[in-house]
Amino acid sequence: MPPSTLLYAALTALLGVASAVHKPHAFDWDSIRYVYAFGDSYTFVQGTAGHANFSFIGDALHFSFTVEQLLNNQIIPKNTSSEGSNWIEFLTGCLEGSPLDCKKELWNFAFAGSDIDGALLPLHHDFTIPLTNQVTQWLTYASKFIPHPASETLTAWWIGINDTGDTLGNASITDFKAFWATEMSSYFKAVQMAHDNGLRTHLFINVPAEDRSPSIVGDPTKSATMKAHLLGFNTILDQHISAFKATNADATIMTFDSNAWFNKVLDSPLQHGFTNITGFCTCAEPAGFFWYNAGHPTERVHRLLAKAIEAELRNPTICE
Ligand SMILES: *[C@@H]1O[C@H](CO)[C@@H](O)[C@H](O)[C@H]1NC(C)=O
Ligand SMILES: *[C@@H]1O[C@H](CO)[C@@H](O)[C@H](O)[C@H]1NC(C)=O
Ligand SMILES: *[C@@H]1O[C@H](CO)[C@@H](O)[C@H](O)[C@H]1NC(C)=O
Ligand SMILES: *[C@@H]1O[C@H](CO)[C@@H](O)[C@H](O)[C@H]1NC(C)=O
Ligand SMILES: *[C@@H]1O[C@H](CO)[C@@H](O)[C@H](O)[C@H]1NC(C)=O
C-alpha cells in the first residue's frame, strides 16, 4: 500500500471512531421506526392501560407497570383532546391498537394536564404525571423493553401549554423570565436523562398561540399578557435547546415552531378550511372550527399540524 493510502486508511479509521463517538447521525424520517413522546393533553393518547382521558399507561397513583402491561397496551382510537385523532397519531400512522403493530411504533408517555415539574407548579390532579416524571416512568419501566436504536428513533417533546396557562394570573411570580429559566432547567434535566439513556434524536415543539384560544382571545388584556408570556417561554426554550446541543455533541436536534404555525393558520383561516377561529364546538363534527373546546384544537388542526411537522422532518434543519 502506498503511504498516502495508508495515511488515508489511518485517517478514516480515526475519523470513523471519532464520528461514532461525537457526531450526531443524519436524520432520515423514513428510517424511523420508534417514536417516543413526552408532553401534555395536545400529545397524549388513550391506552387501555391508561387513565381514562389522560394517558396511554398508568398515572401518578399507578406509576409502575409490568412489561406485559406495556406490551399488551392498546391505543384506543380517536380518544384524545380533540374530537378524533391527534397530531402524533397522524404523524406516526399509529392510530389504534398495539404500537407494536405500527410501522412507526408510538410509545407515548404524555399525560393530559401535565406541567413540566410537580415541584414547581401544583399538579392538576393527584394522579397527574408531570413531564419530569414521564421520563422517569419511561426510564424505569419501559426503556429496557422497547428498542430505541439511535438511527431509528425519534423523541418528541411538547410541553409548556399548561405551564403558561396555569401561571397566567399567578401574582407570586414577579419575574417570569427567571421562572421560565427555572422551569427549563428542570425540563432539560429530564431531557438529559432521556438522552443519557439512549434517546438521542429530539424534536422540540414550542408553545402554540394559546393567546388566541377561545378561553383568552375575547379578553385583549389577558391575550396580550399571554402572548408576552409565550414569547418569553419560547425564547428561553430556544436558548436551552442551543445550550443542550452545545453540551451534547452526539444529539440530533430538530425544532418545530408551533407558535408560528398556529398564527399562520389563524391568520388565513379560510385558506386552511376554517370558518370559525374564535369560538369552539365540542361536538362530533366541528366542521369549520379551529377549536374543539376552550383550549384544544379540532382533529382537522391536528391533521394539518402533522403534515407540517412531517414536511419539516423530511427536510429538517438540524440544530448545530
Ligand atoms: C372522557 O371524556 C369524555 C369527553 O369529554 C367524557 O364524556 C367522558 O365522561 C370522560 N370519561 C371519563 C371516564 O372521565
Ligand atoms: C375515551 O375512552 C374512555 C374509556 O376508556 C371513555 O370513558 C371516554 O368517553 C372516551 N373519550 C372520548 C372523548 O371519546
Ligand atoms: C391544561 O390542563 C387541563 C387538564 O387538567 C385542561 O383542562 C386545560 O385546558 C389545559 N390547558 C391550559 C391552557 O391550561
Ligand atoms: C404560583 O407560582 C408559584 C411558583 O412561583 C407556585 O409555587 C404556586 O403554586 C403557583 N400558584 C398556583 C395557584 O399555581
Ligand atoms: C364561532 O362560534 C361561536 C360558538 O358557536 C359563535 O358564537 C360565533 O358566532 C362563531 N363566529 C363566527 C365568526 O362564525
As a whole-number percent, the residues of the chain with pLDDT over 90 amount to 91
Residue 157 pairs in a beta bridge with 38, 204
Sequence-ordered list of residues with C-beta below 8 angstroms from that of 115, at least 6 positions apart, any chain: 40, 121, 123, 124, 130, 131, 159, 162, 163, 166
pLDDT value at position 19? 41
Q: Could you tell me which of 35, 123, 134, 27 has the C-alpha nearest to residue 87?
A: 35
**Model confidence at 73: pLDDT above 50:** yes
Task: Summarize pLDDT for 77-98 with one digit per residue, the tens.
Answer: 999 999 999 999 999 999 999 9
pLDDT value at position 25? 66
Compute the distance between CA of residue 33 and CA of residue 235 in angstroms, rounded to an integer: 31
Q: Could you tell me which of 81, 94, 84 has the C-alpha nearest to residue 36?
A: 94
| 220-247 vs 176-196: helix crossing angle, rounded to 10 | 40
pLDDT value at position 15? 43
* Residue from 161, 213, 291 whose mutation best tests the ligand 3 pocket (most atoms within 8 A of CB): 161
Lookup: cell for 145? 423493553
Compute the distance between CA of residue 224 and CA of residue 217 in angstroms, rounded to an integer: 9
The helix or strand, by DSSP H or E, that contains position 179, with its residue range, turns out to be helix 176-196
pLDDT value at position 183? 98
Compute the distance between CA of residue 82 and CA of residue 283 in angstroms, rounded to an integer: 10
Residue bearing the CA closest to ligand 1, atom 1: 53
Query: Residue 254's pLDDT band (boundaries 50, 70, 90)?
Result: very high
Q: Which atom of ligand 4 is nearest to the CA of 173?
A: 5
Beta strand segments in 94-249, E: 105-108, 153-158, 201-205
How many CB atoms within 10 Å of residue 45?
29
**Contact indicator for 150, 200 with CB cutoff of 8 Å:** yes
The helix or strand, by DSSP H or E, that contains position 69, with its residue range, turns out to be helix 67-72
Query: Residue 1's pLDDT band (boundaries 50, 70, 90)?
Result: very low
pLDDT value at position 3? 41
Question: How open is the CA angle 43-257-193, to the nearest 5 degrees?
Answer: 60
Report, in this order, helix, strand and coil percent for the chain, each rounded to 5. 45, 15, 40
**Contact indicator for 253, 245 with CB cutoff of 8 Å:** yes
Question: Taking residues 19-46, what's their average pLDDT?
Answer: 86
pLDDT, the chain, mean: 93
Q: What is the pTM of this model?
A: 0.92
pLDDT value at position 20? 44
Q: Is ligand 3 within 6 A of the CB of residue 124? A: yes
Question: Taking residues 201-229, what's their average pLDDT?
Answer: 98
Query: Residue 244's pLDDT band (boundaries 50, 70, 90)?
Result: very high
Task: Summarize pLDDT for 127-158 with one digit per residue, the tens.
Answer: 999 999 999 999 999 999 999 999 999 999 99
Q: Could you tell me which of 305, 110, 96 has the C-alpha nearest to residue 208?
A: 305
Task: Summarize pLDDT for 259-305 with one digit per residue, the tens.
Answer: 999 999 999 999 999 999 999 999 999 999 999 999 999 999 999 99
Lookup: cell for 34? 420508534
| CA 162 to centroid of ligand 4, rounded, Å | 13
* Residue from 213, 275, 278 whose mutation best tests the ligand 5 pocket (most atoms within 8 A of CB): 278
Domain 31-314 superfamily per CATH: SGNH hydrolase (3.40.50.1110)
**Model confidence at 26: pLDDT above 60:** yes
Residue bearing the CA closest to ligand 5, atom 8: 279
**Model confidence at 118: pLDDT above 90:** yes
pLDDT value at position 198? 97
**Model confidence at 48: pLDDT above 90:** yes
Question: Taking residues 164-181, what's their average pLDDT?
Answer: 97
Q: Could you tell me which of 111, 57, 60 has the C-alpha nearest to residue 81?
A: 111
Residue bearing the CA closest to ligand 4, atom 1: 170
* Residue from 213, 270, 275, 276 whose mutation best tests the ligand 5 pocket (most atoms within 8 A of CB): 276
Compute the distance between CA of residue 297 and CA of residue 264 in angstroms, rounded to an integer: 15
